[in-house]
Structure 1
């Protein structure tokens, strides 16, 4: 039986001399896996430091969240000022709520029974990881895809930043307030007098006064922020 060394020798003698000499040269020391890890860490650190200098400082800290919400926002908040403007809300329904490491949210829908047919949607978002400030004026995803016929206007003295806008026809009003990582959104819709409501045919209810609605929305925003603020 031929042993392995004999096989190796036979094979070496059967190959061209230059090939055997070339392969007989000392092999380069293989790179250990941990060396790649160290090299990668050094490169990553260099890139991080370069990005740090380019951006002027470390990544922004998480926003301060000064509020908390429960799953039943309607129980916490009754929107009294807008309720008076709507002639009273006959129904309040808590909608989708959620808890996530990045954001908590809760919402409530209110339906009025007054002649103006006013309804209200309130949404509270508590951003816990990223500052909502840079994108605040862009509104929600649905606002961006549906568009709007009016630009946002600043509303001073409410949270860190507050914006308000109303439609040209006066049938809608939106108020958004940002305070730290919290964003409070109010959307008021007026549908006018329906055919089933009492009144002469064709006698539509007048468009609600926008200044009065804005004042009511601001009052309710203050009340909501006070109700949800952490003690």
Structure 2
């Protein structure tokens, strides 16, 4: 128990003078390191979080509704006739069975071809992800890591009337197209890429066949996306 002299500061006058001088020689403490404040904040936050869990129980997010199923041969459902018609057809198809996991099922398919003059090639791909544990909605607009690293600063545009949310863009402002669709726990990604076309600067005499404009590619991609979603929908 603290005595009355200690409360009113009377004990200061009874301390030896040399002790008081030693105290005076000790430099004042420096500024508190920022990490100490961070550590204190973490401890306080952890305590509040633990108290909240104790009082209300651990929160759990509802699993997203998955209304689709994937197959080992996605190319069997993704024929992409609209995109094939907008281009010059496909020469090669490559299904990829993907993977199956309690948290995520996925599969992919790609079709490749080249224009009639053989001046360049193109690829059309589709990927389906079925998120069973976590809702993909919060991060959907960010795209994949690959898209964030190499997709440049081109912003996604909303595409109404397709799934719960659909976004489209031309990566890097080029001739290709990316279409992403989210419906419940399902995410569909479609991409059209062009490659191997001659450069007008290095080959001025090359005849470059015209490419479909963005409106044509977008309309074809949306049509093929609807068809794939209908083919994979359960029930």
TM, length-normalised to structure 2 = 0.70
| 8 Å contact kept, 2:92–2:111 | yes
| 8 Å contact kept, 2:159–2:166 | yes
Shift of 1:144: 1.5
What is the CA–CA distance in structure 1 between the aligned matches of 2:115 and 2:192, rounded to whole Å?
Answer: 14
The answer to whether the aligner puts 1:177 opposite 2:181 as a matched pair is yes
- Residue 47 of structure 1: aligned partner: 52
Structure index of larger Rg: 1
The answer to whether the aligner puts 1:210 opposite 2:211 as a matched pair is no
| 8 Å contact kept, 1:170–1:210 | no
Shift of 1:168: 5.4
Alignment of 1:1-231 (within 5 A): 46-49=51-54, 58-95=59-96, 97-115=98-116, 117-167=121-171, 169-191=173-195, 193=197, 201-231=205-235
What is the CA–CA distance in structure 2 between the aligned matches of 1:201 and 1:91, rounded to whole Å?
Answer: 29
In the alignment, structure 2 segments of 5+ residues that lack a partner are 1-47
| 8 Å contact kept, 2:160–2:166 | yes
Shift of 1:47: 3.2
What is the CA–CA distance in structure 2 between the aligned matches of 1:51 and 1:152, rounded to whole Å?
Answer: 39
| 8 Å contact kept, 2:110–2:126 | yes
| 8 Å contact kept, 2:152–2:172 | no
Measured against aligned partners, the alpha-carbon deviations of 1:29-51 in whole angstroms (never above 9, x if no partner) come to: xxxxxxxxxxxxxx997431557
- CA RMSD of superposed structures (Å): 2.5
- Residue 35 of structure 2: aligned partner: none
